[in-house]
A and B are shown apart, each in its own frame.
Chain A
C-alpha cells in the first residue's frame, strides 16, 4: 500500500457531519444512562502515520499529569481502535458524576468508570457511524492502563501503521471540570473502506 489515504474537503465534510450525528447519539446515551450532560467537540479529522499520532498526543497531554488510557477494539469492515484518554483529576470528577461517594473512590473504581464511559462513547459513536454507512461491527472488551508520564505513551504507539485516519474529539461535562480525548482510529483496509463509504454517500447526494 504505497499511497497514503487522503480525504478531500468534501469527504472530510461528510465525515464531520456523520460524526456530528454519532456524537449526538453518544451524548444522548450518556444523559440517559447517568443523567448528566456532556458535549463532544467538533471532530478533528486527519490521516496520519503512527509517529504523527505520537506527536498529536504529545501536544494534547501535559507532562506533569497522570493519565488513564483505555482502548476498545472494533471488528468488522470498519475495524479499528477507539482510544479514550483522561487525566487523573478529571477521572475523579467523572467518578462523582457516576454518583460515587468520596470514600468509594479508589483506583479500581475509577478504572471501572473510565472503562464504562469508554464503552458508552465508543459503542454509541462507532455504532451510529456504522449504521449510517450501512455496515456491521462488533466490540471487544475495553482495556485500561494508567500512565505515569508522557514517555510511557510513546511505548504504546511503537507499531508502524500508515493510513491511519484519526477522528479526535474532546469530551466535556457541563458542570464539572472533566476533560477527555476520544480518538477513533482506522488503518489500512478499514481506512479504505471508510473512504469508499464517504465517496458513496457523496455520490448519492
Chain B
C-alpha cells in the first residue's frame, strides 16, 4: 500500500541532479543516508552547538548592552548575566523545550572559557593570545546578512522606516545621555550612527536565530547518543520540525541602559524567526557570503566576481575547504572553534583518515559542509511543506509543482563551485 502511494505519479526528472531530486521527493536529504554520514553530521552539530552557545549570547550582549560603545574593546568579554541568561528553548523555564539540558551556558563552553588550549590564565591573556571562542566568525555571518539584505522578509525594509529611525534616535540619545562629545558627533554624522544601529539590529537578529539552533543541535546529539536518531532523513526531519516549531518566534532588538529597556525593533513589529532570520541567514551565509580576503585574488573587472549580489557563491555549500583553511579567515575560525568540542568518536574518525591530526581542520570543515547540506535540505523540505504539497500528494499537478521547486533549488548547485556532487562520495574528506 505504501509503495502504491509512493509510486511516481509523474515522469522521472531529466535534471542533472535527478538522482538527488528523486531522493528529496522520497523524503530524503541531499546528503546520502549512510551511518558514516550520520555520525559525521551529528558529531559536528554538537561541536558547532557549543561555540554557538557563546555566539548567540555574545551577539545579544553586544546588541543589547555594548551597543554604540565607541571603543568596544571588551565586547567579547560577555557578562555573567548573559552567560546565565536562560535559553528560551532549553531548561525548565523554556517557552518550548527543545533540548532537555540546562538553559544557561553549556558546561563545556564554561570550561573552555576558563582554560582555553593553554590553561588557566587571566581572561585578558586568553583574549590577546586568541585562545578563546572566535566571535569574529559570528560577526562575519552577521555582516553577510547586513550586506546582502533584500533576501525576503521585512526586516531590511523596516530598518529604513521612519518608525525605526525614530526608535534608533531615541536609543542613541538615551545611550549617550550626559556625553556631549558623542552627542555632538551624532549631530554631525547622524546617518553613520544610524547605520551602526542597523548593524546592531543584525547582531540581535542573528543572536535570536542561533539561540534556537544551539539547543536543536544539542538535542540531536543526545538523541544520537541514545540510539534514537538512526538515519540522515531522521536528522533532517528533526530540523524540519524544529524550523516549524519556532517559525513564529519574534525577532526584535532591545537596548538595555541600566534597568531601562528601549525597544528599537519591538516584538509588536511582528517579525518572525523563519522569515526575518532563518531564511535570510541561510541565503546570506550558506549560499552567498563574500570572497574571504586573504584566500584568493579576484579580478572583478574580468568578471570573476558576480555583478549581482544574488549570484554570490562563497558560502559553505560552495567552499573549497582546503584553500580557506588559513588563520584569520572566518570559516577557519569556526573550524578552530569546533575543534575544541569534537565528540571522541569524531576525533578518532579523523585520526584514521588523511593526515590525521595534521589536517583535522580540513576534515572537519568538509564534515561541516556535509552537515550544512543536510540543514539546507531541511530548509528546502520545510519550504516545500509550507508553500507546496505533501510528498505523497496523489495529485500529479501538485507533484509536478514540488518537482519544479526541487529542480529550481538544485539549479543553484549547477555552477562548478558547488560541492553537492562531492558530498555524494564517501572519500571526499
* Genuine A/B complex: no
* Residues of chain B having any CB pair with chain A under 8 Å: none
